[in-house]
């Protein structure tokens, strides 16, 4: 079984709205219509370093400029239909000023967190979002 490590970011605001990546125009195998910003952790990188690199690549924003950036949780999934395992390092932050980001991969869209479950997203994304929603409601 192939195993990959991934650093992900979910920006949110006080209204429980989130910034999600519209991937409809990204032509990658097994990509759902929507997902988190982030990507694979390269050999020798920490999750924080990977997140920093991915945010520059995807949103042209430095992680040091993200407000209240915090590591939320490490999730582990086995995706049997893809014969793949994944360790997903989830980071949360306050939503940045959307005029200060430049989206280079897909499109950035703002959704109410409660609406996200109706979108075409992976089952493991839904599972992570349920935990994040519970956490943010208590914050």
In degrees and rounded to multiples of 5, residue 124 shows phi and psi of: -70, -30
Structural tokens at position 110:
């703002």
pTM greater than the 0.85 cutoff:
yes
Q: Which residues pair with 38 in a beta bridge?
A: 8
Handedness of CA 94, 98, 99, 100 (dihedral sign): positive
Burial-class residue 48 by CB neighbours within 10 Å (0-12, 13-18, 19+): middle
Domain 2-138 has CATH 3.90.1150.10: no
pLDDT digits (tens, 9 = 90+) for 49-105: 999 999 999 999 999 999 999 999 999 998 787 788 999 999 999 999 999 899 998
**Strand, coil or helix: what is 71?**
strand
């Amino acid at each position: 079984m192939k195993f990959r490590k991934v650093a992900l970011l979910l920006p949110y605001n006080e209204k429980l709205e989130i910034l999600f990546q519209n991937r409809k125009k990204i032509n990658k195998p097994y990509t759902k219509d929507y997902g988190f910003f982030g990507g694979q952790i390269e050999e020798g990188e920490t999750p924080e370093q990977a997140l920093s690199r991915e945010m520059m690549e995807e949103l042209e924003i430095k992680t040091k400029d993200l407000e209240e950036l915090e590591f939320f949780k490490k999730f582990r999934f086995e995706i049997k239909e893809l014969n793949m395992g994944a360790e997903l390092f989830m980071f949360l932050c306050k939503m940045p000023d959307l005029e200060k980001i430049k989206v280079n991969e897909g499109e950035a869209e703002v959704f109410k967190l409660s609406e996200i479950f109706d979108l075409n997203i992976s089952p493991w994304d839904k599972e992570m979002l349920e935990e994040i929603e519970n956490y943010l409601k208590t914050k």
